[in-house]
Chains A and B, each alone.
Chain A
Amino acid sequence: MLQSWAPILAFLILVSGFAVVSVIMSYVLGVKNPNPRKLAPYECGMQPTGTARERFSVKFYLVAMLFLLFDIEAVFLFPWAVVYRDLGLFGFFEMVLFIAAILAGYIYVWKKGALEWER
């Protein structure tokens, strides 16, 4: 068990080392010639107006919530699919019920208009 995860840890250390070292290297080696204009937020040459920390559309939250619901269901499907051959017809009907429940929720969400991006 641990034997198969230890290489992942080693790989993680190597990869994070690479990422951190390249950030530090570019900080050390790069030229430094800052001026206020250069350090201002990029806005296509205009003087930046206001702050960027504004409110954004609530639709993004909605997508995130729907994603959570459906992704949890996807996670349930994974172990079921792996042992599917052992479960036989019992597993099939159990999962038909489960997917029917998903579909009911899905149709409800569709009818409520949560999937319409234009509104």
Chain B
Amino acid sequence: MIEYVTSADFLLMMAKIVGIFGGVMGALAYLTWLERKLMARVQMRPGPTRVGPFGLLQPIADGLKFLFKEDVIPTNANKFLFVLAPIVALIPALLSFSVIPFGPRLQVTDLSVGLLFIFAITSLGVYGIVLGGWASNSKYPLMGAMRSSAQMISYELSLTLSVVGVLMIANTLSLGELVTAQQGTWFGFIPRWNIFLQPVAFVIYVVSAIAETNRLPFDLAESEQELVAGWHTEYSSMKFAMFMLAEYANMVTVSALATILFLGGWTGPMFGPEWLQMVLPTVWFVGKISVFIFFYVLLRSTFPRFRYDQLMRFSWKVLLPLALANILITSLIVALS
């Protein structure tokens, strides 16, 4: 044990953990800036401009303000669960980053069941939402939490089923191997990405992923016009920030997973000197994730919200049969080839 703690492997692992955690936290903070700025541009506003050049210091100012705001706990609330809920929401959201490969070696650990691990961990996030909504002992949060949990479990089905087609092609659950299986090209110019083999699964995955993260047009859980702010109505200061952080972390996780499963993860053209080849995979990976994030923000700023019955019908009557049909057809083609 002591030998392991002092070995170079251990130090490398610690460096990776701290580096990935720090990088992700920084990226999440600037995601709020990016979203505000993009939304503002769509609506012909300048967005945050006052704090630093282009408002670039805004996330830091926001973070400090969250820290110094009053920590309101309603008298009626179940105090222990009320404080516990944001912690329960945040931990699984951040923990999923421990298996995501940001580059060939930039991965905390490559579990052989990495994909299952991510699905298991991210579905724990719904507990934070339900606990928060119930512990608040207020009507809007309770309704928001009920809606959110029903929505999340419904779309989780189509999300997990859409992935099965990819697994049949790649035959592995390890995220690192999923990426390396997509290296190379067909005919010299089409990248070997699963999106070309599983286009239907990709569409099902992206739609379910947006619903999983409670984003517009599926943000029934926190629809401002009816439920104030949904399950985090009663939350303030850092606890509110933690719910927000968990939401953004989930957004990055599902985008990263979409990139790994369908868009070849960190694979991409390699060129230039040695040091550039070290950085390029991570650049490709972050670039692909950014495309998804950009798409999410554009969706949020352009689409109206679904009605709740439409939302549930869409999941159970359209996406679920479509995912099952996709599995059957894929398995037939793989069996014949």
Contact = CB atoms under 8 A, between A and B. Distances in A.
B309 A117 contact: yes
A14 B17 contact: yes
Interface in A1-43: 4-8, 10-12, 14-16, 18-20, 22-23, 25-27, 29-34, 36, 38-43
B21 A15 contact: yes
B136 interface: yes
Contacts of A63: 150, 153-154, 312
B284 interface: no
A interface bracket (residues with beta carbon within 8 Å of B)? 35 or more
B161 interface: yes
Contacts, number: 214
B331 A7 contact: no
Interface of A: 4-8, 10-12, 14-16, 18-20, 22-23, 25-27, 29-34, 36, 38-44, 48, 51-54, 56-57, 59-60, 63-64, 66-67, 70-71, 74, 77-78, 81-85, 88-89, 91-92, 95-96, 99, 102-103, 106, 110, 115-118
Interface of B: 13-14, 16-18, 21, 66-76, 83, 86-87, 90-91, 94-95, 97-99, 108-112, 116-117, 136-143, 146, 149-150, 153-154, 156-157, 160-161, 164-165, 167-168, 171-173, 228, 233-234, 237-239, 241-242, 308-309, 312-313, 316-317, 320-321, 324, 327-328, 331-332, 334-335
13 contacts: A7-B109, A14-B18, A19-B91, A20-B87, A23-B238, A26-B69, A31-B69, A31-B70, A32-B70, A59-B150, A74-B160, A106-B321, A115-B316
